[in-house]
Amino acid sequence: MAHSEDSSKPSMLVERDGGVTTITINDAPWNRMGIDFMDDLEVLVGELASDRSVRAVVFTGAGDANFSVGMNLKQLPLGIERHGSAEAVFDQRLRVLAAIERLEKPAIATLYGHCLGGGLELPLACHFRLAAAEGAKIGLPELDLGTVPAWGGSARLVRCVGRAHALDMILRAKTVSGPEALRIGLVQEVWPNDELKTRAHELAQELAAMPALAVAGVLRCVVTAGEKSLEEGLAEERRAVIQTMGSKDQQEGMTAFLEKRKPNFTGE
């Protein structure tokens, strides 16, 4: 794993707890996502995608001050040197976030403190977003910098909260709180600040206990639903159903239902 240019710390921390992998942006207190972080994340997401023992992923930030203020703009020259152009730097970020969105295992983000620019765009690529009850400042303030969201933020925000709320946030460079994010559909849950990371891990454990083949099928169906016609979406759903039929988890689910007990899924 690479180290950040201004310290000896690794760009991220990676912890495993059973089927849950937690990825921590390791640049407290601001948790900027530098060039090394994105290079490391691209490799890691590829590994997570192919590792059958990983059943859910949590993204969080080091410390309790901020999830992330987004890209470390001071490192853009380094990124251009390493990747060849500014366009290549942003292409990589789009590529990595698309890979997170298309993971066939649930990805959960914790939103607390500043979640700005890329610090919201990464969570928008996740399947679940949990926000802090107090102190969260969530937004895409790129217009204040004379530019526009560059990591897919405008497209994903519209799909998440609708055009009216997306325009209100982006054109006004507006930040929203955790409770406001819940109201407009940007996050699924809001928790007291000191419970947020624990709750994210609990949710990840809950999702990790679900039948892996069925979870992967649901994610394929739901994440790509907006890109397909109804007929294509129904065909994808049928493929997912057929894939689970006869699997050990499907048999266990049926047996547990008939025996009136909680199923014990193994991911097979």
- State the catalytic residue, choosing from 5, 101, 104, 142: 142
How is residue 83 written in tokens? 């990747």
How is residue 199 written in tokens? 């709750």
Task: Report d(CA 254, CA 62) in Å as an integer.
Answer: 42
Q: Is 227 a catalytic residue?
A: no
Q: E strands of the chain, at which residues? A: 12-17, 20-25, 56-61, 107-111, 114-116, 128-132, 137-139, 175-176, 189-191
At residue 106's C-alpha, the angle toward residues 101 and 112, to 5°, is 80
CA dihedral 92, 94, 96, 99 (to 10 degrees): -140
- State the catalytic residue, choosing from 121, 202, 232, 236: 121
Task: Report d(CA 3, CA 128) in Å as an integer.
Answer: 29
Q: Is the dihedral of CA 26, 85, 98, 139 positive or negative?
A: positive
At residue 196's C-alpha, the angle toward residues 207 and 158, to 5°, is 75
Q: Is 47 a catalytic residue?
A: no
Identity of the amino acid at 83: H
Which residues are the active-site residues? 121, 142
